Amino acid sequence: MNQLTLLESTTKTPIEVLLQIEDDNTVTAKRVYEFLEFNPAHYSRWCKSNIDENEYAEENIDYRAFTINGEWGGQSTTDYKLSVPFAKKLCMKSGGIRGEEAREYFVKVEEAHKNIAMNLSSLSPQMQMFKHMFDAVASQEIKQAEMQKQLTAVIEKTESAEATIANIKDIVKAESDNWREWAKTTFNKAVDNSPFKDYQFLRNESYETLELRTGCNLRIRLKNKRRRLYDAGATKTQIDKITRIDIIEEDKKLKEIYTAIIKEYAIKYSA
């Protein structure tokens, strides 16, 4: 029995179900090609002649190209997002059994619409009026459902934005009395949420940003600080423990600017 008659109830047409039409009313060229049961080896040539070089197809309206990792041979290949009307046209114009099934199906759909139109024209004026009223109500309900869908999407985006704002407020609020601990915790959180997850790389980058904004050289300041400690009789262990963060913490200007830099990183990667 024809597969087009074996589908469960759905708001999509049988052809659309078989083509696996996506929620955005598009389908991939690869899926159409598989539906038509053509030889996978000729996929690229079929796309070129039926999509790229199709004088009746308009890019970004009928189709949009994108690159994927091909499942046929494991190499990168080009696929296309096709509009539903364009995908149906490709099915109808193709050869083979599936192409014939698609043509037969759409012919039947067209005949059904013609019969419905003829039957409606024979209705009494009163019944035609009721029909128009019903169509108007149905159209309104469809519009309301679409508006509700859009409203839900807006609410979800708003809630996400509110969560982001709350997170930013937590980040930019005044740091705790223990500045060093706050700086460490906040910066580490930013690193954990960054795509790099490389503490040393981002730390060095933050120091470079500080030097650019202030015109200072942290390494020279660190070297001078250690020399002063040595001259004061500090032990090697005490001297080696001094780091660039110590240089920053003891300088009010550097500390304020570096605090702002840490917050920028936290907002960028954690908000």
Which segment of 12-16, 59-63, 136-140, 206-210 scores lowest on mean pLDDT?
Answer: 12-16
State the pLDDT confidence band at 173, using cuts at 50, 70 and 90.
low
CA 46 – CA 207 distance, rounded (Å): 55
Cβ burial 228-260 (10 Å sphere, 16+ → b, else e):
ebeeeeeeeeeeeeeebbebbeeeeebbebbbe
Residues 6+ apart with CB under 8 A from 257: 210, 213, 214
State the pLDDT confidence band at 176, using cuts at 50, 70 and 90.
low
139 residue type, one letter: S
Q: Could you tell me the end-to-end alpha-carbon distance of the chain, in angstroms, rounded to an integer?
A: 56
| Helix 252-270 / helix 179-193 crossing angle, nearest 10 deg | 30
Most confident segment among 76-80, 134-138, 157-161? 76-80
Mean pLDDT of 176-205: 86
CA 85 – CA 190 distance, rounded (Å): 47
Domain parsing of the chain, residue ranges: 3-121, 169-270
Secondary structure of residue 110 in the 3-state scheme: helix
At 196-225, the pLDDT tens digits run 778 888 899 999 999 999 999 999 999 999
Q: What is the pLDDT of residue 201?
A: 87
Q: What is the pLDDT of residue 190?
A: 87
State the pLDDT confidence band at 145, using cuts at 50, 70 and 90.
confident
Q: Check whether 169 has a pLDDT greater than 90.
A: no
